[in-house]
Structure 1
Amino acid sequence: MKITIHQGHQHQLEPSDINIVIDVIRAFTVAHYAFRGGVKEILLVKEVSQAVRLKEQYPNCLLAGEVGGLPIKGFDLDNSPRNVSTHNMFGKTIVQKTTNGVKATLNALEANDVFVTGFSNARSTAEYVKKLAAQIDDAVINIIASHPDGDDDLACAQYMKSIIEGVYSMKAEEVVKRIVNCRAAEKFFDESQPEFDHDDIYFCIKELPEEFVMRVDVGRGIPRILMVTL
């Protein structure tokens, strides 16, 4: 088994067996809580204009995401896991556009299986991938820490790698510490930037044992995240 960690969202990856894309703060923590709230699927789009066109076609879908970390005018939801956790979205379709996680995923589709996660669902995802990889001869796995220089995604990638390899060399507490102290988290604790809710970080660092993972399906045109029950 070969596992390579990449950082950033614009890699040209070689075809692989499994790709895992991580966005802790906050896109795939948002996705995790959306599925906990009963969302049916999450469509991934690169541009705001594409999301708007989908809303015109399918008025019942919800637009979620950010530009520069801030809410997008006309979108139903921002990129806050706390806000998503309180929103009634059972059975809904979300269209998601974000700066790092979504973009990294759209550049990581050349694999037999593609998964996304934040730290909140990292262990469940890593354990699932570990079992999946065991069924593949010389499995090739890419783990993409989508923030170009964020220690949050990188810490989570290293944590997941250790689980998949079966060495368990990193503790969850170490990952939490690195997330809270990373540069991307600073603005959430800055009182001069109230638009960034510090409660979001607490959602991002809470590891939740789950009976599902988030897999990206590309068989129906627009890439979409679906919940796969374990």
Structure 2
Amino acid sequence: MKINVITCADHVSPESVKGNTAVVVDTLRATSVIITAISHGAKSVVPMTSVEEALETKKKLENVVLGGERKARLIDGFDLSNSPKEYTASAVAEKNVVLTTTNGTKAIARSSSAARIFIGALRNARAVAEAAVAEERDAVIVNAGTGGEFSMDDFITAGAIIAHMLELKPAELTDVAKTALIIYETHRDLRSYIQEAHHYGVLEELGLSEDLDFCLQESVEDIVPEYKNGIIKQHF
């Protein structure tokens, strides 16, 4: 088994994930939102790369909640932002959540040639590692990044997932995967590392410290969402 990390969505090509198990990570905050929505009973999450696509998709589905952000802010006319705290059972249970975000939904779309696509974050790091190892094929952790650039928060999350994978099965790591693992192993106080990330600072300035606290909890969820045929549901 070989494990690789792709450091941002813009670096994903069909060839880089084809035939692999992909784990898409956007810790702050899209994949944390998806995990929370599925955990709270959402019928599905439908990721879209543009606001226009999201609005068109709403017309085709029943019981839709529109969620997402642009520049970390609520999109005009949408029901929910990209704050996982908003995706409560009362808001999303039995609903189809149509979601569009700046980075996370783009990373999911660009990973579509993978054999399986799981949704990962710190909150489900151990569970998603178990699901990836069970597939018994090479794995690639796709970091969404921020605005087409490397993001520290996603990178250390990749390291956490790799650490849990190695607890279950030996693997060959690429240099970038080894680096992510080293970063995780030497920064077990995750906040001390992640608070240096640019996107952390952006969210803090917007008064979203509760979101940061929520997203930085490690392995507190057993939920493993899977993207398949254009929608995300719980993996079984």
Q: TM-score, normalised by structure 1?
A: 0.86
- Which among 221, 224, 228 is matched to residue 210 of structure 1? 221
Give how far 1:77 is off: 0.7
1:24 lines up with 2:27 in the alignment: yes
- Partner SS state of residue 135, structure 2: helix
Distance 2:221 2:209 in 1: 24
Per the alignment, residue 131 of structure 2 pairs with 128
- Which among 172, 186, 199 is matched to residue 210 of structure 2? 199
Letter paired with 1:110 = S
Q: Gaps (5+ residues) in structure 2?
A: 171-180
Give how far 1:179 is off: 2.5
Give how far 1:153 is off: 0.1
Letter paired with 1:158 = G
- Which among 183, 207, 215 is matched to residue 198 of structure 2? 183
- Which among 216, 224, 230 is matched to residue 231 of structure 2? 224
Per the alignment, residue 136 of structure 1 pairs with none
Distance 2:33 2:126 in 1: 17
Give how far 1:185 is off: 0.7
Preserved CA contact (<8 Å) 1:130 1:163: no
Per the alignment, residue 161 of structure 2 pairs with 160
| RMSD over aligned Cα atoms | 2.0
Give how far 1:36 is off: 1.7
- Partner SS state of residue 20, structure 2: strand
Give how far 1:176 is off: 4.0
The Cα offsets for residues 201-220 of structure 1, whole Å up to 9 and x where unpaired, read as: 011011244333111112xx
- Partner SS state of residue 221, structure 2: coil
Preserved CA contact (<8 Å) 1:9 1:107: yes
Preserved CA contact (<8 Å) 1:64 1:77: yes
Letter paired with 2:192 = K
Preserved CA contact (<8 Å) 2:125 2:164: no
Give how far 1:155 is off: 0.5
Distance 1:6 1:174 in 2: 23
Preserved CA contact (<8 Å) 1:124 1:209: no
Per the alignment, residue 173 of structure 2 pairs with none
- Which among 66, 69, 73 is matched to residue 66 of structure 1? 69
Q: Gaps (5+ residues) in structure 1?
A: 134-138
- Partner SS state of residue 110, structure 1: coil
Distance 1:122 1:13 in 2: 24
The Cα offsets for residues 162-182 of structure 1, whole Å up to 9 and x where unpaired, read as: 222337874583434322332
Give how far 1:67 is off: 1.0
Distance 1:87 1:152 in 2: 29
Give how far 1:5 is off: 0.6
Q: TM-score, normalised by structure 2?
A: 0.84
Give percent identity, aligned residues only. 25
Preserved CA contact (<8 Å) 1:185 1:201: yes
The Cα offsets for residues 182-230 of structure 1, whole Å up to 9 and x where unpaired, read as: 221112333xx34xx2110011011244333111112xxxx1111124x
Per the alignment, residue 145 of structure 1 pairs with 143
Instruction: Map residues 8-157 of structure 1 onto 2, 5 A cutoff.
Output: 8-10=8-10, 11-14=12-15, 15-58=18-61, 60-85=63-88, 87-133=90-136, 139-147=137-145, 148-157=149-158
Letter paired with 2:5 = I
